[in-house]
Amino acid sequence: MPITKTTSKVDINKRRIINGEDADVIQLYPMRHTFAWDAYNTGNANHWLPTEISMQKDIEHWKSPTTLTEDERKAFKTVLGFFTTADSIAANNVVLAMYRHITSPECRLYLLRQAYEEAVHTHAYQYIVESLGLDEGEIFNMYREVDAIYDKDAFILSFNEGIFDGNFKTGTFEADQKFLENMIVFSLILEGIFFYSSFAVMFGFQRQNKMVGAAEQIQYIMRDESQHLNFGINIINAIKEEQPELWTPEFQTRAINLVKQAVDLEAKFAAEVFPKGIFGMNAEGFRKYIEYIADRRLARVTLPLQYNTPNPFPWMSEAIDLNKEKNFFETRVTEYQVGGTLDW
């Protein structure tokens, strides 16, 4: 990127999420998108590492012939198999799509933090697999072998392809809409919908006092992902404000239809992976929960609700209560400084 010598200072009014190159992407100040700075500081305050969490109880549970049923073992491994690739897809999108095209310096700063957190999540899955002595090839290759995982991953990646192309550039109506569509698929769908039946299963283990170390790691991962989701929604809404011409009725209809497709894929995933249900949750309950979550995502970007389904798993509100998290080094519960600001 060439640098021009000048005494002129950056005009904050020229800062843009995309297409703001004229406002100097190297200078952090003046800061227009303060939500990104807040997210960056939140991430730093909530830093964690998987190795700080003991897996001893999980090892005992996994080795025990009676603690876990075969259905529970299958569900645990399949959910883990989905998580391993989902975070890799998320990391690739952050580095190869979002960072390349976003021109807000403070947003870029947070994206570096987000990319690191995706790496921590991948570390967590490897830590769980290694601790339990699972077959790495089976878990990490599951997205190629299990149709319900493959279908979700293929859906997401089909929208990444154009954005990842080295010749893709924002700056035209079509390209800017393509980028906005990618943000909807990446944030609302991957991070906002596709994780959630799997989160419910892992917290089901936690409620049964089983696989508690793995479940605690997933709880911290969910806290991070909720912040990623919140950031992505802020990006979408900021682009809508800065470039309202992109938010056409046709585009809004397309976004709603994509969310509906995602709900169907996630419901299919739950029905195929947990055909007998698990921990009192059945296919119908998973479907309703996914619909409930989808409506909340749509509302955050001012799109109309499609399902009006009540939450069938109210206990999930306790599992994802981001105001309270267990301190790694103490037994007491401590207040996290920002988690409660997130809108579920």
Residues taking part in catalysis: 127
Contact 224, 117 (CB under 8 A): yes
Q: Which of 217, 221, 75 is nearest to 142 (CA)?
A: 75
CA–CA distance, 166 with 177 (Å, rounded to integer): 17
Q: Would you tell me how many other CB atoms lie within 10 Å of the CB of residue 76?
A: 25
Distance, CA of 207 to CA of 57 (rounded, Å): 14
Give DSSP secondary structure letters for 56-108.
HHHHHHHH-TTTS-HHHHHHHHHHHHHHHHHHHHHHHHIIIIIHHHB--HHHH
Look at the alpha carbons of 258, 294, 46, 24 in this order and tell me if their dihedral is positive or negative.
Answer: positive
Cα separation, 88 vs 92, in Å, equals 6
Sign of the Cα torsion 204, 209, 214, 217 reads: positive
The answer to whether 121 touches 222, Cβ cutoff 8 Å, is no
Distances in Å between the Cα of 144 and the Cα atoms of 82, 89, 150, 216, 339 are 10, 14, 6, 27, 35
